[in-house]
Amino acid sequence: MSDLIEIINAELPQFQCGRCDTPGCRPYAEEIVKGSPHNRCVPGGQEALDKISIILKTEALMLDNAYGPEIKPQIANIIEEDCIGCTKCIDACPVDAISGSANLMHNIISDLCTGCELCIEPCPVDCIELLEVDEDQALMSRNQSEYFFDLKIELNQRKKKKSKMNKSILENLDLAQSINQKLKNRNIDKTSSIKKLQLEMLDAQKTEKFINISDLEILKKQL
């Protein structure tokens, strides 16, 4: 089964664009092996589809253009002076081809960009343009995109784990603070109730004449 997934994946064009309604090319190959229609990769075109039909030994299918359009050989480019550093494009890029930090200008790593267009729509200031490149350059990025796609998934998982850990650290801190507060409150009560008890005992000793009044006043001050 996993061999079949890899054989089908090898025929997919590796844009990692998600147009087939799965997050990337290998996930689509997995869905095909599970029985999903194999005619949804419009960027791969009829040629890739025919090869997959032969691999699956099924009758020839026509591309389902509802999953289109095709993708030209292209890369994204950020118009630097307009970028507001919101990081939305970084989150959208399936192959981690965008560098930058919050509130700083972002850049596209052109050797990694597959031209998938996923960063275009989320940009709130419309400052990402597409530049045509030759087929060789486009192929170079796509040939290595699977590695960076996997890396991005791992990064996202780590980010999720980290934010989960941060969340539980914060929750624990909150809990610790509220316990501390309760202990503090209780200590205050304890101190005052002990003091009250001691005063009562001293007063009782005074009543029973076990202690003289001046000693009693001195002791009270020491409490």
Q: Which residues bind ligand SF4 (CB under 6 A)?
A: 12-13, 15-20, 24-25, 28, 41, 43-44, 76, 78, 83-89, 92-93, 95, 97-98, 100, 106, 108, 113-119, 122-123, 125, 127-128
Q: Minimum distance between the CB of residue 149 and ligand SF4, rounded to whole angstroms?
A: 9
Closest of 186, 167, 166 to residue 178, by C-alpha: 186
**Closest distance between ligand SF4 and the C-beta of residue 143, in Å?**
13
Helix axes 25-34, 135-207, angle to 10 degrees: 90
Closer by beta carbon to ligand SF4, 37 or else 85: 85
Shortest Å, Cβ 157 to ligand SF4: 19
Q: Name the residue nearer to ligand SF4 (CB basis): 87 or 205.
A: 87
Q: Give the three-class secondary structure for 15.
A: coil
Distance CA 174, CA 181 (A): 10
Nearer to ligand SF4, 151 or 204 (CB): 151
Task: Give the phi and the psi of residue 129 in degrees, each rounded to 5.
Answer: -115, 165
DSSP assignment, residue 66?
A: G
Would you say 76 and 123 are in contact if contact means Cβ atoms under 8 Å apart? no
User: Which residues, at least 6 apart from 165, have a Cβ–Cβ distance to it below 8 Å?
Assistant: none
- For ligand SF4, give the closer residue by CB, 98 or 202: 98
Nearest residue (CB) to ligand SF4, 78 versus 202: 78
Please report how close the Cβ of residue 53 comes to ligand SF4 at its closest, in angstroms: 15
Residue 93 or 133 with smaller CB distance to ligand SF4:
93
Give least dist CB 163 to ligand SF4, A.
20
| Tokens found for residue 9 | 């994946």
DSSP SS3 for 78: strand
Written as six digits, the tokens of 164 are 């989960």
Q: How far is the CB of 178 from ligand SF4 (least distance, A)?
A: 39
Length of the chain: 223
